[in-house]
Amino acid sequence: MDALERYIRENSTPQGEALDWLERQSWLRTSHGRQISGPVLGSLLRHIVLMLKPRRILEIGTFSGYSTIWMASALPEGGRVDTIEINDEMEDLIREGLSRAGVEDRVRLLIGDALDILPMIDECYDLIYIDGNKREYVAYYQSAVELVRSGGWILADNVLWDGQVVDGDPRSQQTRSIMAFNDLVAGDDRVENIILPLRDGLNIIRKK
């Protein structure tokens, strides 16, 4: 944690015991602890939910459930997060975190490949958060823009990919896929969007 991030955390509302616990466990019990959104982006997700008051949220890429908890904690009465995680070995940690945070009744966990699950979903969402396999962002978006209501929102994390999207010679498939995703969104006349340089880049997309 650098000095600026530490300052931001010290001068923002704390994330609470359950998220403190899950942040530690994400590092201790997995080999990809850096994949959690972190308290700054997590708090932003919570504030977005508080402002928009969505009743139905879809999350593509649960990992340990950290961002799930941030969003679920801000849902209005009767709201629900449907969250998709491909790795069934994460289920115990996810469910324990949801229980500790007291939001298990607001979350429906779907274990499996999002590309298999998305075509079977018969829901209309107010907000969709994309944070899954970067190579599949274009496919996720093509489903998400159909599943989100008019006037609804799609958020996509990691869209700057550590600055690699501006390199003249993107060599990794992940980088090329994220660039293709950003290009697709920017050229889609069904939506309007803005990329925020927060953490690793957040694309905020509104369906017209």
| Residue 167, pLDDT above cutoff 90 | no
- What is the tens place of the pLDDT at every residue in 108-152? 999 999 999 999 999 999 999 999 999 999 999 999 999 999 999
- Type of residue at 180: A
Per residue in 179-188, pLDDT (tens digit) is: 999 999 999 9
Whether 145 and 188 have beta carbons less than 8 Å apart is answered as yes
pLDDT of residue 158: 95
Q: Which of 12-21, 27-36, 73-82 has the lowest mean pLDDT?
A: 27-36
> What CA–CA distance (Å, rounded) separates 109 from 20?
21
**Looking at domain 3-207, what is its CATH homologous superfamily?**
Vaccinia Virus protein VP39 (3.40.50.150)
Instruction: For residues 15 and 124, give the distance between their C-alpha atoms in angstroms, rounded to a whole number.
Output: 30
Are 57 and 45 a contacting pair, CB within 8 Å?
no
Cβ neighbors of 20 (< 8 A, separation 6 or more) are none
Handedness of CA 59, 138, 156, 54 (dihedral sign): negative
Per-residue pLDDT band at 1 (split at 50, 70, 90): low
**Number of C-alpha atoms within 13 angstroms, CB side, residue 21?**
12
Contact 44, 74 (CB under 8 A): no
Please enumerate in sequence order all residues whose Cβ is within 8 A of that of 134, keeping only pairs 6 or more positions apart, or say none: 158, 161, 174, 177, 178
